[in-house]
Amino acid sequence: MSNVYKKTDVILIGAGVMSATLGSLLKELAPEWEIKVFEKLADAGEESSNEWNNAGTGHAALCELNYTSEQADGSIDITKAVRINEQFQLSRQFWSYLVSSNLIHHPQEFIMPIPHISFVQGEKNVSFLKKRFEALSNNPLFQGMEYSDRPEKLKEWMPLVMKGRTSTEAIAATKIDSGTDVNFGALTRMLFTHLKSKSVEINYNHSVENLTRTADGSWEVKVHDIHSGKQEYHTANFVFIGGGGGSLSLLQKTGIPESKHIGGFPVSGLFMVCNNPEVVAQHHGKVYGKAKVGAPPMSVPHLDTRYIDRKKTLLFGPFAGFSPKFLKTGSNLDLINSVKPNNILTMLAAGVKEMGLTKYLIQQVLLSNEKRMEELREFIPNAKSEDWDIVVAGQRVQVIKDTEAGGKGTLQFGTEVVSSADGSVAALLGASPGASTAVHVMLEVLEKCFPQHIEEWESKIKEMIPSYGLSLVENPALFNEIHASTAQMLDLSKKELVYR
Ligand SMILES: Cc1cc2nc3c(=O)[nH]c(=O)nc-3n(C[C@H](O)[C@H](O)[C@H](O)COP(=O)(O)OP(=O)(O)OC[C@H]3O[C@@H](n4cnc5c(N)ncnc54)[C@H](O)[C@@H]3O)c2cc1C
């Protein structure tokens, strides 16, 4: 049996943080537009956006060392760190707007203040961290950052990390108190509750199987209702493919020229989670280390205080690994099925180029629990195996494409918005910096796909996101104002967990 439905303005595929953000922006900019959502799982935010599937770091480049690279002349390039920080400020502003407009409530249920700490060991890394601190500390976006290589100070900042540390190796850290832990799962669910209240039609247990262009240039979306087994056909003027790891295969189904010569490389992840409340209570911060030589940027180890299920918890990881699935709930055939005649050369070139990465990921999969404990003990010297369990994190599908700089089959670690020339369909690929920059990425979708509306929408966008179109690093007064007002609106000035 099949059903054909009346045309709608917008279809969002996937109920993760990206579709949630795009839907929420559109409901403010074009409230009269009809929006339908199709999600194959039973609820919103169940894949990568779920709180247990990602690290929940509000990425503002305050502690992630891979966003600042050391140049050949020894100087530190902070361009990427500034860009990511500015992008995170857009998210903070939009979330604050939603709270102040009573569209979502209780910000402490999705965002909490937490110090962001970078911690390094060894002379070379200490020298890098010091230079990084000097390059960032005078920048308005990173004000309040402190540096220390004195063990007594480091003990104050992270007692658990310093306890039982006997090595005489040089160590140092930077700390900045304005970092955040974001429960992207809770945020996604809140945004979908809000969208539902605005008459957005949300269809769970509905898997999108195909997209076909219709004669009038809109899109027909073939949907499988998992419960009834029926096929449904829905049409829309605009389709956003926010399927996370599932986006690539749907993008390929559109057949648009922009979907060609693109592949995906899945990277799986594991976290260790502390089951001992006494240990959890001894730590307060997100402590990021430096990636090991040869390790991909997304496997930088970190020890994170997290706020999940209204409880303070402690996670370590992620340990990267290899799995051919593109979604945690995906199929072992995902990788093979993503190879098409138009991307096979790109994929093969990447396979040859990234032998080292593949080997590294396979080694990571084969790590024994004791080996993982050894890595944890670089952060918590006294860590006991019985205090730590393993949880499987989400899948990240890194984009592979041909680039001028990297040549055929170059692995990308960022996010990519791929859209058709007429703006009628857009997909989000890649996963880094990820959910933290969802607002920036979805504004990019609006700019690419609705250029004809941007002028009319601009004043509303600026009301919601006052720094839209402006550089905060060049407007320090505006940054200070925005940082203070969003901290107040999102309850970030409270230092400890105060759930309502
Ligand atoms: C280990 C790990 C750590 C991370 N750490 C961080 C972090 O600290 N900070 C940060 O900002 N980001 C982090 N990220 C990235 C972040 O989680 C993602 O960028 C973000 O959640 C992606 O959101 P999304 O909406 O695109 O995808 P998802 O949340 O995966 O949502 C996609 C949805 O689409 C659905 N779907 C897929 N195919 C179909 C289909 N055919 N039909 C219907 N529905 C479909 C899926 O079921 C899913 O619900 C991390 C990711 C991982 C894996």
431 within ligand 1 shell (Cβ under 6 A): yes
Q: Is the pLDDT of residue 500 over 50?
A: no
Alpha carbon distance, N-terminus to C-terminus of the chain? 48
Average pLDDT over residues 137-142: 94
Q: Ligand 1 mean position to 127 CA, how many Å?
A: 36
Residue 211, ligand 1, Cβ within 6 A: no
Window from 92-96, 270-274, 397-401 with minimum mean pLDDT: 397-401
Question: How many angstroms separate the alpha carbon of residue 122 from the centre of ligand 1?
Answer: 35
Please state the domain extents for the chain. Answer: 6-488
Dist. CA 305–CA 285, nearest whole Å: 5
pLDDT average, residue stretch 291-297: 72
Inform me whether the pLDDT recorded for 498 exceeds 90: no
Predicted confidence (pLDDT) per residue in 63-73, tens digit? 999 999 999 99
Ligand 1 lined by 243 (C-beta under 6 Å): yes
Enumerate residues 6+ apart whose C-beta is below 8 A from 453: 29, 30, 446
- Band (300; pLDDT cuts 50, 70, 90): confident
Rg (CA), the chain: 22
Q: Which residue has the tokens 């009628």?
A: 424
- Residue of the CA atom closest to atom 2 of ligand 1: 54
Residues 19-33 have pLDDT tens digits of 999 999 999 999 999
How far does the centroid of ligand 1 lie from the alpha carbon of residue 327, in Å?
8
Residue 271 CB–ligand 1 contact under 6 Å: no
| Average pLDDT of span 457-473 | 97
Position 6 scores a pLDDT of: 84
Instruction: Please state the atom number of ligand 1 nearest to the C-alpha of residue 184.
Output: 21
Whether residue 496 is predicted with pLDDT greater than 60 in this model: the reply is no
Q: How far is the CA of 54 from the centre of ligand 1 (A)?
A: 8
Pick the residue whose CA is nearest to atom 31 on ligand 1.
16
Regarding the beta carbon of 428 and ligand 1, being less than 6 Å apart is answered: yes
* pLDDT value of residue 446: 98
Q: With pLDDT > 70 as the criterion, what percentage of the chain qualifies?
A: 97
- 215 DSSP assignment: T
Q: Is the CB of residue 57 below 6 angstroms from any atom belonging to ligand 1?
A: yes
Check residue 355 and give its pLDDT. Answer: 79
As given in the structure block, the two tokens for residue 279 are 């240990």
Element spanning 250, H or E: helix 247-254
Nearest to residue 338, comparing CAs of 269, 245, 414, 416? 245
- Indicate if the pLDDT at residue 321 is higher than 70: yes
**Is 436 close to ligand 1, i.e. is its CB under 6 Å away?**
yes
Pairing assessment for the beta strands 35-38 and 8-13 based on DSSP bridges: parallel
- Asked if the model's pLDDT at residue 499 lies above 70, the reply is no
| 22-45 average pLDDT score | 98
Average pLDDT over residues 467-485: 97
Comparing 41-50, 81-90, 95-104, 287-296, the range with the smallest average pLDDT is 287-296
Could you tell me the distance, in angstroms and rounded to a whole number, from the CA of residue 439 to the centre of ligand 1? Answer: 14
Give the Å distance between the CA of 391 and the centre of ligand 1.
Answer: 16
Q: Which CATH superfamily does the domain covering 6-488 fall into? A: FAD/NAD(P)-binding domain (3.50.50.60)
User: Peptide bond before 341: cis, by omega within 30 degrees of 0?
Assistant: no
pLDDT confidence of residue 494 = 64
C-alpha 242 – ligand 1 centre gap (Å): 9
Distance separating alpha carbons of residues 113 and 484, to the nearest angstrom: 13
Is residue 269 within 6 Å of ligand 1 at its C-beta?
yes
The CB of 393 under 6 Å from ligand 1? The reply is: yes
Beta bridge partners of 199: none
What integer pLDDT is reported at residue 153 of this predicted model? 97
> 393 C-alpha vs ligand 1 centroid, how far in Å?
11
Provide the residue type at 279 as one letter: V
User: CA 353, 359, 362, 367 torsion: positive or negative?
Assistant: negative
List alpha helices for 297-415, DSSP H.
334-337, 344-353, 355-365, 369-377
> What is the phi/psi pair of residue 385, to 5°?
-55, -40
